[in-house]
Amino acid sequence: MQSDQVIEKFKETGALLEGHFLLSSGLHSSVYLQCALVLQYPEEAAAFGRSIAEHFREQNISPVASPAIGGIVIGHEVARALGARFIWTERQDGEMTLRRGFSVSPGEVTLVVEDVVTTGGSTRDTIAALRAKGAQVVAAASIIDRSAGKAAVGVPLVSLATLSVPAVDSSNCDACKRGEQVVKPGSRTVGK
């Protein structure tokens, strides 16, 4: 699947909005991503999963592991395409951990899958949690990398599409300078 096809699927389903947005970080951006809106269609999720899996066919990966909640749908599809087991990590008191009886055996060749990599933080935390249990994490993958390729997760990162749309402080925001109203996605709250 080509990068522009991925972006087109996101736009079609409203998972990628273009405009002037207030992100949860407090920063402004001309792009807003809500991956759940494309992943609500299992066929799209499966196609992204197969496309990610193509990069890892030769690596005998199992398990695939994802951080909850955002990574679960796509991670599950990647695991299905690879014939691998699938597990997820979740935060408990802020710390990423394996729960629900999930475990990894020492040396298990593990791929970490996210929906979107922004800073790489949750991917890094997931890798650390798995390594602490002995897993051999060989790579990470996401549908979209919105860090312009800058996120470092400590292992090779494969993304189906890369965005280089900066999130900026309102004082540096061109849309604000043009006097355009900022929108907080998912709410009706509109401010300046």
Interface residues with Zn ion (CB under 5 A)?
Answer: 28, 173, 175-176, 182
Closest contact distance (angstroms) between CB of 91 and Zn ion is 30
- Closer to Zn ion by Cβ: residue 158 or 180: 180
- Closer to Zn ion by Cβ: residue 9 or 28: 28
- Closer to Zn ion by Cβ: residue 155 or 176: 176
Closest contact distance (angstroms) between CB of 117 and Zn ion is 23
Kindly compute the dihedral angle of the four CA atoms of residues 51, 55, 61, 66, in this order, to the nearest 10 degrees. Answer: -50
Closest contact distance (angstroms) between CB of 149 and Zn ion is 24
Residue number with the smallest Cβ distance to Zn ion: 173
- Closer to Zn ion by Cβ: residue 138 or 175: 175
Closest contact distance (angstroms) between CB of 184 and Zn ion is 11
User: How many residues does the structure list for the chain?
Assistant: 192
Closest contact distance (angstroms) between CB of 171 and Zn ion is 9
- Closer to Zn ion by Cβ: residue 59 or 181: 181
Q: Measured on CA atoms in the order 96, 101, 102, 103, is the torsion positive or negative?
A: positive
